[in-house]
Structure 1
Amino acid sequence: MFSGQRLRDLREKQAKTQADVALVLGINRASYASWELGRAKPNQANLEKLAALFEVEATYFESEYAIVHPYLQLNASNKLKAEDYVENLLEAQVAAETKSKVVPLFAVQVLDQVPLSAGFGEVYYDEQSFQTVYTDQEYSYDFASFIQGDSMEPKYFDGEVALFDDDGFDYDGAVYAISLNGRAYIKRVYREPEGYRIVSFNSDYADMFAGPEDDFRIVGKVIGHFRPVEEV
């Protein structure tokens, strides 16, 4: 491929101006400048004129010349050495590029037996076990749990991990992990005179209410959520 940069470097090395070269070739300076800028390339006739003017081979202006020309002068043994070197150099480059693209993953311990339902509720277990999942972002949190169901869509989705702090009720309308009559949920919560109104984002789900007679408590407030990254 024709290289305008090689042409420019050679012209400057021989202390010629663009106007000097254009005059010899019988073209205007702007046309010649477009070759050096890579906006156009000379036809075969002008390429041969350039080669004669600069006393080089016509192939000198190809971008591959600096590699191909010396290679062709090597004997068979040295050609093999050159090929091996280039192959090893390329492998090292690919390995370095691959390494630079590796995204660090952070482990999150998720309550495995307390799936917080974004739906109709799951049993709240006293005995807790954990499952390790991974995310490409580091979080600060008190505990984490999986989300199940679609009642909190389009903000929280089934299969995501919700992250919580355990400071209790903060303000109306925040999203909390709650325990209601032995079932765990993730819902928006509003305090009312007779108890708590429990609301989904998805309008297909009716509001719930926790009164004085219900076994209700705030487990934690949602401070983040993410879709786990599969470890490779």
Structure 2
Amino acid sequence: MEKEKHLKHLMELKSGSVKAFSEEIGLAYTTVRSILERGVFNAKVENIIKICKGLNIKPENLMGIDDTLVSDSITTLIQLTPSRQKRVLDYATEQLDEQNNKVLHINSNNIVSEEVAVYGYASAGTGETLIDGVEFTTQYNGHIPNHDFALQVNGDSMEPMFEDKEIIFVDKTKQINSGQIGIFVIDGEAYLKKVFINEKGIRLVSLNSKYPDLHFDSSHDIKVAGKVIL
């Protein structure tokens, strides 16, 4: 049942819990729980397809799911939309080219640029003050999704998903699930991090492994400013 254990882990990372994941993909919680208990090989094909679609993985890849698939980098990757998955892959390819001393040529003639109002800054490092009101406008290359506000990333602790000085888009909310990426205001300082919630408080995690986790308990003023649009 090791395969089902990993599958359950992916569901929890994606949605916070198996029940929440079941609701997102439109399958009864009892059905999903039965699949995890009895094994994926005993499940209906249409149910497996729904689960794979919800996790952004191919059904054929489900048969080969193992510890490698649920490594930190992959579990983060499955939470992304296909366009952002491609972006991470492109970044990795670029790094490999640089490592091998290859030259990367970019043709920017067809890039669409739009103006976006940036609300302030979010630190991908040790925290930064989030200032009310529009701070500046800038040109953004690519499609601008529906969002409540935009921020500029300061720091490299969330690379490769988010680069230093990148513009990110945020849905304003006060609720967020464990394992999601959001904007958190701790004692007046704004952070862009992946969050894990426990009974003692929260743990803010960087995607760049050179940065340590940040722990905050009830003695701190903890606020959720929004969820990052991936």
TM-score (norm 1): 0.48
TM-score (norm 2): 0.49
Larger Rg: 1
